[in-house]
Structure 1
């Protein structure tokens, strides 16, 4: 077995089309540091992230000569993290700043870095990856001027190394036995508030500006044609929906794992075929401008269906 202190580092990298530019910049930077990189190229965010996660997970379960970590990128950095984290022993963290990367490594022992191709410039991404690379797990507390962790926190971090893998492999007491993804479990247990302006919808704001949220709609619900000041990315976590981009005359049928970006001011209408949950992130603060009433929207959807 290799001594951990003497292990070299290998990075498995991949991205979707929205994250490929920043991924390519980071791969070039890592190679300039003489770090071995296995670049898997570009594919859908869920398939490329799953492959990176699978390889990191496989390496984590064996005593390889090199420490294997992952690097994934998509439009938001969120979708790739979700799918990389489906594999045991993978701790993927979406980092939008060097401080995110510092905490992800120091506190969470992140072994897969997820970055946003739409929100992060190549130069900023290099700062993020450099911080992620140089920060060891349980490094001095970043919130207290790099002072040592208090004894109780140090004990918590030590125990987390053995406790976290148990959650990914067996689940926690009282959890649903068929729930494989910890992200989905968190979503199911989250309390959402009703969206008063659209019947059948509920939402939980996770971050104000730029706004990100978990949204649910009941089967049969319709969102009338509307637009937003800012574009938004969404990932479907559960259910099925159809989005009509009326500005571009495009139609998108979305189900679990699908991603869609809607540009700022594009007018779009939505129909939910099943109870549906999705993660959504706007490029700025959330707002909504309607271009038709609910009855007109339902009539338009019915016409499309016939």
Structure 2
């Protein structure tokens, strides 16, 4: 199950992501927001981060205008490793090396075509389980 959350700036791109996940037959839970009416991104970042940290959802996707604020907020929740990605290489590397559990994107920075490729890369790339990466993740969590 994928936890989804966005603010008003990410709402349009999130609709594209939702359609894409449905086409892939992937289950998701939408934590909002539900329109382009102005909202505060920390509310939705925290809902998604807690859903992932508590094990309700395996991974999350967060979208705001830049992806910056929403990723900063998510990373304040213990156990969350949210990565702001604007390209497929970063999405692949953060899954393989950091076992990132939330993808953050900026709707005003990344167009929908590329964003959907980033989503696929993030969701389809497994963690490497290399000892050096496990060690580094433990260091992050200390």
How does the TM-score come out when normalised to structure 1? 0.43
| Correspondent of 1:69 among 59, 62, 65 | 59
Out of 108-117 and 26-35, give the one that drifted further.
26-35
Q: Does residue 12 of structure 2 align to residue 30 of structure 1?
A: no
How far 1:113 sits from its partner (Å)? 0.4
Q: Distance in 2 between matches of 1:162 and 1:120?
A: 31
SS at match of 1:159: helix
| CA-CA distance at 1:159 after TM superposition | 2.1
Aligned runs of 1:201-212 on 2, under 5 Å?
none
Structure 1 CA distance for aligned equivalents of residues 22 and 113 of structure 2: 16
Query: Of the two structures, which has the highest relative contact order with CA contacts closer than 8 Å and spacing of 6 or more?
Result: 2
- Give the match for residue 109 of structure 1: 99
Gaps of 5+ in 1: 1-9, 140-153, 168-306
Stretches of structure 2 that go unaligned for 5 or more consecutive residues are 34-38
The alignment status of 1:129 with 2:136, answered yes or no, reads no
In the TM superposition, 1:211-230 aligns within 5 A as none
What SS class does the counterpart of residue 58 from structure 2 fall into? strand
In structure 2, which of residues 131, 134, 142 is the aligned counterpart of residue 158 of structure 1?
A: 134
> 1:161, CA displacement in angstroms?
4.4
> 1:122 Cα shift?
1.2
The answer to whether the 8 Å contact 2:98/2:137 transfers is: no
Distance 2:91 2:4 in 1: 17
2:73 equivalent to 1:83 = yes
Equivalent residue number for residue 52 of structure 1: 48
* More strand per residue: 1
1:18 aligns with 2:9: yes
Question: Using the alignment, how far apart are the partners of 2:73 and 2:137 within structure 1?
Answer: 21
Runs of 4 or more off by more than 6 Å in structure 1? none
1:115 and 1:163 mapped to 2: Cα distance?
25
Give CA-to-partner distance per residue, 1:84-116, whole Å, 9 cap, x none: 111111100000011110111111111000011
Matched residue count:
137
| Greater Rg over alpha carbons, structure | 1
Match of 2:85 in 1: 95
Matched residues in 1 for 2:134 and 2:48: separation? 26
Alignment of structure 1 residues 167-178 onto 2, 5 Å: 167=142
Offset from partner CA, 1:131-173 (integer Å, 9 cap, x none): 111111128xxxxxxxxxxxxxx431132344433x2xxxxxx
Q: CA–CA distance in 2 between the matches of 1:120 and 1:79?
A: 15
